[in-house]
């Protein structure tokens, strides 16, 4: 069995604007010109839109949507704008990006920022109202001396948003509910961006991917790029859900269906390190990826494929032991455009560390190769990495594309 594992780097390699910065830049445009009249839209597009680094299709679609105001296009942008309205996560990310406080440019950095805030609330375990004095003091100190660490500065920004949205007197349960609701609203906006805008952009076939004889695709992306460009007959399991191309107007009686049907997983990894904390401190479990995958039923085929590979290996192994046949039951795993970060260890570790897989990791350049080697150590351990690379018949190799 030949399995291709892809991450956001796969879409980026095809010239698609799927980074979190692309999503937030697009969101700012939508929020900025949503209420403009046609004349102001024309002025904005001529003065600013051409300078923004988006593919021509996206720019044309933005202009067409706002200029025509037809029902079909308006539904997407109207729902999109509403999902961002008064959204604490959206506003938080704009502020920390503007303040150059965000950790990095990848989606794992985006998720890490959510993780820090959720972990802070989980560790505090008291109502926000009981921490009112602490919060206001922290804000006051930040304004007076500005000597906080980046982490403390980001907490202060979040504190300020809590005050602005009058959440300061909420119970911790109500704050938790609001944080999750706004995260799902942000995720729904991302779904519209991917399905209605990004997935309509034309892109070229990558010869390296085209040459692969792929039986199954394990995708950590929300887009249908592989099926759309290469082969829609190859089964794809979307570990974090697939973006669904339909929008609902706020005036529609089924408006909430868009949010309810959205099965995209946008969450964090486990931050507790000892078993006792993991078992007992679970009020924020719904923010974690493994829980969202259960709730939204994503990636179910993945377990079936893995079991099939394992069964084929064991069956062939037993036959070879009782004959002179050459053992050929290894499954081929190709990794393209995935950072192999530990946040997806529960899935990636199985494929890469298994004794029955031959793994090829494609790297953008030599710098990326070093990072991927480090990340694989976090997934399967240094000893297992060495065994797979330096075996008589190596079962793990790295291919640098540049």
pLDDT tens by residue, 272-318 = 988 888 888 889 999 999 999 999 999 888 888 888 888 887 877 77
What per-residue confidence (pLDDT) applies to 194?
95
Those residues with Cβ within 8 angstroms of residue 220's Cβ, 6 or more apart along the chain or in another chain: 5, 6, 7, 8, 239, 240, 338, 344
User: What is the three-class DSSP state of 7?
Assistant: coil
Rounded CA separation 18/240 (Å): 14
Average pLDDT (224-241) is: 95
Boundaries of every domain in the chain? 88-185, 299-400
Comparison of pLDDT for 60 and 372, the residue scoring more: 372
Categorize the per-residue pLDDT at 78 as very low, low, confident or very high, splitting at 50, 70 and 90: confident
- Measured over the CA atoms of residue 359, residue 362, residue 365 and residue 371, the dihedral's sign is negative
Comparison of pLDDT for 211 and 159, the residue scoring more: 211
Task: Using alpha carbons, list the distances in angstroms from residue 288 to 112, 242, 294.
Answer: 11, 18, 10
- What are the pLDDT digits (tens) for 102-152? 999 999 999 999 999 999 888 876 555 555 555 556 555 554 555 567 888
Comparison of pLDDT for 225 and 56, the residue scoring more: 225
What per-residue confidence (pLDDT) applies to 71?
44
Q: Is 274 exposed, middle or buried (0-12, 13-18, 19+ CB in 10 A)?
A: exposed
Question: In 14-131, where does DSSP find H-type helix?
Answer: 20-33, 38-47, 56-68, 71-84, 88-98, 107-124
Average pLDDT (194-217) is: 91
- Measured over the CA atoms of residue 279, residue 89, residue 264 and residue 177, the dihedral's sign is positive
Please give the mean pLDDT across all residues of the chain: 85
pLDDT above 70 (res 31) = yes
Average pLDDT (30-47) is: 71
Task: Give the helix/strand (H/E) hosting 16.
Answer: none
Range of lowest pLDDT (141-145, 173-177, 284-288, 326-330)? 141-145
Residue 217 tokens read as 């695709």
């Amino acid at each position: 069995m030949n399995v291709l594992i892809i991450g956001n780097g796969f879409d980026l390699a095809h010239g698609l604007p799927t980074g979190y910065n692309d999503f937030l830049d697009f969101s700012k445009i939508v929020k900025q010109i949503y209420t403009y009249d046609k004349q102001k839209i024309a002025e904005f597009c001529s003065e600013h839109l051409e300078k923004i680094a988006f593919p021509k299709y996206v720019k044309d679609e933005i202009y067409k949507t706002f200029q025509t105001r037809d029902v079909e296009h308006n539904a997407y942008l109207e729902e999109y704008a509403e999902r961002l309205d008064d959204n604490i996560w959206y506003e938080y990310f704009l502020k920390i990006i503007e303040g150059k406080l965000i950790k990095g440019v990848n989606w794992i950095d985006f998720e890490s920022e959510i993780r820090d805030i959720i972990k802070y609330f989980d560790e505090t375990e008291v109502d926000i109202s009981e921490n009112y004095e602490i919060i206001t003091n922290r804000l006051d100190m930040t304004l007076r001396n500005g000597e906080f660490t980046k982490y403390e500065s980001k907490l202060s920004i979040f504190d300020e948003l809590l005050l602005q949205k009058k959440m300061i007197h909420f119970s911790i349960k109500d704050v938790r509910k609001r944080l999750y609701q706004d995260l799902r609203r942000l995720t729904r906006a991302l779904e519209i961006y991917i399905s209605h805008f990004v997935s309509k952009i034309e892109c070229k076939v990558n010869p390296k991917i085209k040459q692969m004889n792929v039986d199954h695709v394990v995708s950590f992306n929300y887009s249908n790029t592989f099926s759309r460009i290469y082969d829609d007959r190859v089964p794809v399991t979307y570990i974090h859900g697939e973006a669904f191309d339909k929008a609902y107007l706020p005036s529609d009686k089924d408006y909430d269906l868009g949010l309810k049907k959205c099965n995209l997983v946008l969450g964090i990894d486990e931050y507790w390190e000892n078993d006792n904390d993991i078992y007992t401190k679970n009020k924020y479990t719904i923010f974690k990826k493994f829980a969202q995958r259960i709730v939204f039923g994503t990636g179910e085929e993945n377990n079936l494929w893995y079991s099939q590979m394992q069964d084929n290996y064991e069956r062939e192994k037993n036959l070879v032991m009782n004959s002179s046949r050459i053992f050929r039951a290894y499954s081929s795993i190709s990794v393209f455009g995935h950072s192999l970060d530990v946040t997806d260890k529960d899935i990636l570790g199985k494929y890469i560390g298994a004794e029955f897989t031959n793994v090829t990791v494609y790297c953008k350049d030599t710098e990326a190769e070093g990072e991927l080697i480090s990340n694989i150590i976090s997934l399967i351990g240094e000893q297992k990495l060495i065994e797979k690379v330096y075996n008589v018949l190596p079962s793990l190799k790295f291919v640098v594309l540049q």
